[in-house]
A and B are shown apart, each in its own frame.
Chain A
Amino acid sequence: MRTNEKVVLLEEYFRETPPADAAWALQFLCGRTLPRAVPTKSLWLWAAEAAQIPVWLMEESYQAVGDLAETIALLLPDSLESTGLSLSQLVEQRLVPLRSLPERARHDLLQKTWLELSSSERLVWNKLITGEFRLGVARTLVIRALAAVAQVEPAIMAHRVMGSWTPTSADFTRLLAPTSPQSPEIAQPYPFFLASPLEIKIRRGESLEPLGRIQDWFAEWKWDGIRAQLIRRQGESLLWSRGDEMITEAFPEIIEASHVLPEGTVLDGEILAWQGERPLPFSKLQRRLGRKKVAGKTRAEFLIAFVAYDLLEFAGTDIRTQPLEQRRRQLEELLQQVTGQLAEEVTWRTYDATETPLFPGAAAIDTNPCSPFLPSRCGVTGALQVLPSSFETATFTLYPSSASVDATCQCAASTPPPNSRSEGTSA
């Protein structure tokens, strides 16, 4: 199913379903399932009993299906009549009691419930009682649908959903409330400024003259990490990845460390797994994504670095229209102030390509102080071969420091940083 169709279906569901049921649906869509309500062994025996087949035949069936909840749903006899249990009734009157009932009563309640559900309902029910309910819908889509229903920005909805709420009618209604002008939402990130190739086509060996002077460019490594915005507002910290995804819970180290940032700060940067002086491959980091909780063991595996490359908001003011050079200076000052107070496992740093012998003349880069942060892409074709053919391995981003060059470009370069990648834009 197409992504937009999923969102439309979710929207319809959230709009038309009574809040008491929609609240539970949202709870489960967010992956907040209840713990297993029936021990697996009992489930096997009772399902075989309901299906009137020997347990070995249920095992054979399970081998063919590969999923216990689905196997049981397929094996149970057709339901007699649907009693039309709503989701909230199913959860509150069946699922929750099921866990605390004594064995015999639990057996009876489960058998009764199975008989009252249709085949597709049983699959969901079985997933709920085994605590394994998952739906192939990304949380960002759920949030997008909720945002559309509530007519608020997805970022605001993501922040609300991340906050504390219980699966009740009242809380769900509160989640869908319109934005109130009295309390501006603190969650909103800025649009990400993405690097894209330059419109000027320069083939290998051709003159670089159209680019102007190298001194008019500001060079920066392109990291193979997670592009992110770190927001510190009203005593709260939020982490956004590109594409409207809130990843606050996946990187508790950054959130903890961010408490030293002054109010009204938004950093643009890259999250990297870090070891010693080197970033680790992106795959290490990837395992963190989608986590709701990060255990101490996972945290101990490697350090997390937030490599800040831009300051978008300072002292509560949007400074994106200020020249890059100025923002950069403010960023460095800010980070110098807080570095002493950082938790040990987090590395704050800026990383300027001019610190490395990137290419001849790089150290002499003279940033012309008039390049605003451009919240749009600069569309273009073809990779730009700026350097001699032997230098083809790494990618970095050049920001135009001159107002006359209204674009960024990606070029091949020598001596790549340890995990920079060879093409594409950052994650």
Chain B
Amino acid sequence: MGAISTVAPRSRIGKDTFAMLLQNTERGLYCPAGGFHIDPWQPVDLAIITHGHSDHARPGSRQYLTEATGKPILQSRLGMNAPVETLRYDQTVTRNGVKISLHPAGHILGSAQVRLEHAGEVCVISGDYKLEADGTCAPFELVRCHTFVTESTFGLPIYRWRPQEEIFRELNQWWHANQLVNRTSVLFCYALGKAQRLLAGLEPRLGPIFLHGAMERFLPAYQAAGINLPAAVKADAQNVKGAGGAGIVLAPDSAANSSWLRKFGDVSTAFASGWMQVRGPRRRRALDRGFVLSDHADWNGLLQTIRATGAEKIWATHGYTAPLVRYLREGGWSAETIETQFAGELGEDMESGGARPVLEEPVEPPAAES
């Protein structure tokens, strides 16, 4: 993590400055001074989007701002005519006196932390982030700040990731073992981000790689960004069966137990997700294998990042917020849970492996200051 920028000591900043910089509203995070929202779940005038997953990028806003490489993803989600403006990483724009810049979050292509600065007060909204660099998106970059709004999808100490090299080695071994018994490998994963990361980690010399249509949809955005991925073709009964069990098929979770899948004959199934860390979700899906590979920070990654930002005030959102907040408070931070509203459906590409926790804490209006 390379730290960038310095921040002024909190003592020099005015009392109400933070309230002007960031508030949690019923449409989502809002910057009153700048007049824009971050990842709002209802239509607004200007939405800054951290990344293109459907729980962060909702339709209907008049204007969107996102990182340049994420634009095709956002447009494939919101429509080609969606009004999407872009910023490059580290480029800064000022709106109503608020300095806005985007910094790599390492989650998926185009994912960004949003840095806001107003009257000396610096706030960073992480969106979803991952510390391990994977080659399919710009690696995470640490940004120092006074207030850090962090995701906490895997905010429990049971979630600790092993290096991805180990996971990919096991994944390729599994694929190869299936080939030896002429059994097609079917790897379930989220269509945006994880699928491309897996593609990059598969050993293309082993055999043909096939994709479900949902995965194909996002490939042009990665191609446009110059991300090198192995060749993969759309899966159908002919080409998959024609490979005689040598192939691997990447498919969204929703394709499990589908008639589409049954066309492929004898298959071995696996799911790649951080949720596979626990045996319960693995067994409930009746999978042959679960590969623990997440695009989110694990428990240690969350704590490491929070400490390194130098932030005194932490807002936790998404996932296991309550344990993280309590742990931080016991460690001397000012920490709160920020309720996230999902508009009814969970995005197809979210990491909702059946273990998504219920947000137990009531919606608390954030304190205007700390």
Q: A1-B288, A54-B327, A61-B323 are known contacts; what are 5 more A-B pairs with Cβ within 8 Å?
A: A60-B322, A61-B158, A65-B280, A70-B278, A74-B278
Q: Check B280 against A53 for contact (C-beta < 8 Å).
A: no
A57 CB contact (under 8 Å) in B280, B327, B357: B327
The answer, yes or no, to whether A383 is at the interface (CB within 8 Å) is: no
Q: Are A67 and B279 in contact (CB under 8 A)?
A: yes
- Asked if B206 CB lies within 8 Å of chain A CBs, one says no
Report the 5 A-B pairs with minimum CB-CB distance, sorted nearest first: A74-B158, A60-B323, A61-B158, A61-B156, A65-B278
Report yes or no: A65 in contact with B158, Cβ–Cβ below 8 A: yes
Residues of B contacting A51 in the complex (Cβ-Cβ under 8 angstroms): 157
Contact B357 A70 (CB under 8 A): no
Q: Can you name the residue of chain A whose Cβ is closest to the Cβ of B159?
A: A74
1/0 contact trace for A35-69 toward B, CB 8 Å?
Answer: 00000000000000001011011001100111100
The 0/1 profile, CB within 8 Å of A marked 1, for residues 307-330 of chain B is 000000000000010110011001
Are B157 and A64 touching (Cβ within 8 A)?
Answer: no
Residues in B with CB closer than 8 Å to A211 are: none
**Interface assignment of B86: CB less than 8 Å from any CB of chain A:** no
Given contacts A70-B278, A70-B279, is CB(A64)–CB(B156) below 8 Å? yes
Whether the Cβ atoms of B355 and A61 lie closer than 8 Å is no
Contacts of B157 in A (CB 8 A): 51, 53, 57, 61, 74-75
Whether the pair A64, B320 counts as a contact (CB closer than 8 A) is yes
- B330 adjacent to A64 (CB under 8 Å): no
Docked pose: A208 CA to B368 CA in angstroms: 88
Provide the residues of chain A in CB contact with B323, threshold 8 Å.
Answer: 57, 60-61
- CB pairs A–B below 8 angstroms (18 shown): A1-B288, A51-B157, A53-B157, A54-B330, A56-B326, A57-B156, A57-B157, A60-B322, A60-B323, A61-B156, A61-B323, A64-B355, A67-B279, A67-B280, A70-B279, A71-B158, A74-B158, A74-B160
Complex-state Cα separation, A60 to B158, whole angstroms: 10
**Interface residue B334 (Cβ < 8 Å from any Cβ of A):** no
Chain A residues with Cβ under 8 A from B288's Cβ? Answer: 1
- B182 touches A (CB below 8 Å): no
Task: For the complex formed, measure the closest distance between the CB of B352 and the CB atoms of chain A, giving whole angstroms.
Answer: 14
Interface size in chain A (residues, C-beta < 8 A): 16
Categorize the interface residue count of chain B: 10 to 19
Q: Which residue of B lies closest to A56 (CB)?
A: B326
Q: CA–CA, A65 to B330, complex, Å? A: 23
Most buried by A among B277, B280, B322, B323: B323
Q: For the complex formed, measure the closest distance between the CB of B56 and the CB atoms of chain A, giving whole angstroms.
A: 23
How many angstroms from the CA of A67 to the CA of B326 in the assembled complex? 23
List residues of chain A with CB under 8 Å of any chain B CB.
Answer: 1, 51, 53-54, 56-57, 60-61, 64-67, 70-71, 74-75
Query: How many Å lie between the Cα of A74 and that of B330 in the bound state?
Result: 22
| A residues in contact with B326, CB < 8 Å | 56-57
Q: In whole Å, how far is A329's beta carbon from the nearest beta carbon of chain B?
A: 51
Closest chain A CB from B161 CB (angstroms): 12
Question: B181 to chain A: closest CB distance in Å?
Answer: 9
Give Cα A53–Cα B156 distance, bound, in whole angstroms.
11
B330 touches A60 (CB 8 A): no
Chain B: CB-nearest residue to A54: B330
**A74 in contact with B277 (CB, 8 Å):** yes
A53 / chain B contacts, CB cutoff of 8 Å = 157
Q: How far is the CA of A51 from the CA of B157 in the complex (A)?
A: 9
Chain B residues within an 8 Å CB radius of A74: 157-158, 160, 277-278
Tell me the complex Cα distance, A60–B157, Å: 9
Closest to A78 in B: B160
Q: Looking at the assembled complex, report how far the CB atom of A5 sits from the nearest CB atom of chain B, in whole angstroms.
A: 9
The contact of B357 among A56, A64, A65, A67, by CB within 8 Å, is A64
Contacts of A61 in B (CB 8 A): 156-158, 323
User: Chain B residues with Cβ under 8 A from A65's Cβ?
Assistant: 158, 278, 280
**Neighbouring A residues of B160 by C-beta, 8 Å:** 74
Q: Known: A57-B323, A60-B323, A64-B320. Contact between A75 and B279, CB under 8 A?
A: no
Q: In residues 253-289 of chain B, which contact A (Cβ within 8 Å)?
A: 277-280, 288
CB distance from A122 to the nearest CB of B (A): 13
Of the candidates B157, B160, B288, B357, the one having the most CB atoms from chain A within 10 angstroms of its own CB is B157
Min CB distance A293 to B, Å, is 28
In angstroms, Cα B330 to Cα A56, docked, is: 12
B277 CB contacts on chain A under 8 angstroms: 74
Bound complex: CA A156 to CA B156 (Å): 50
CB neighbours of A64 from chain B (8 A) = 156, 158, 278, 320, 355, 357
